[in-house]
Homo-oligomer: A and B are copies of this chain.
């Protein structure tokens, strides 16, 4: 459903947060689409419901989904929010690019890397 890496040091709830944010802001999940329930995701990933709940609540707080208690959670996708999400992704990109250059990598190498990614993006 939402692929995560149980091992690895980034917290589970954060992986979920990132992955779902990606799916929504890229348009892979469309507005007002129903999200899988907290319990479904938890069971599917073999993870405690509280952990999934935490991710969902943060998504709601950020305005990416809205949840109607006793009904379910739905994709919200406010444009202004999506933009700040993209802003943040861009900021993180800038930071890692700067770090790479400061580590002695040539800008051209980085551009080439981006071109390599152009074809094979993944939105399962």
| Residues A85 and B69 in contact in the complex (CB < 8 Å), given A97-B117, A113-B90, A113-B94 | no
Q: Which residues of B contact A104 (CB under 8 A)?
A: 25-27, 82, 86
In the complex, the answer to whether A121 meets B93 with C-beta atoms within 8 Å is no
| Residues A25 and B97 in contact in the complex (CB < 8 Å), given A68-B6, A111-B111 | no
Q: Which residues of B contact A101 (CB under 8 A)?
A: 117-118, 121
Q: Which residues of B contact A69 (CB under 8 A)?
A: 9, 11
In the complex, the answer to whether A96 meets B93 with C-beta atoms within 8 Å is yes
Q: Does A56 contact B (CB under 8 A)?
A: no
Q: Which residues of B contact A95 (CB under 8 A)?
A: 96
Distance (whole angstroms) from the CB of A2 to the closest CB of chain B: 13
* A positions within 8 Å CB-CB of B: 6-7, 9, 11, 18, 21-22, 25-27, 61, 66, 68-69, 82, 85-86, 89-90, 92-105, 107, 109-111, 113-115, 117-118, 121-123
Give 25 A-B contacts (CB < 8 Å), ordered by A residue.
A7-B66, A18-B99, A21-B103, A25-B104, A82-B104, A86-B105, A89-B100, A90-B105, A90-B109, A90-B113, A92-B96, A93-B99, A93-B100, A93-B105, A94-B113, A94-B117, A95-B96, A96-B96, A96-B97, A97-B97, A97-B117, A98-B121, A102-B123, A107-B118, A111-B111
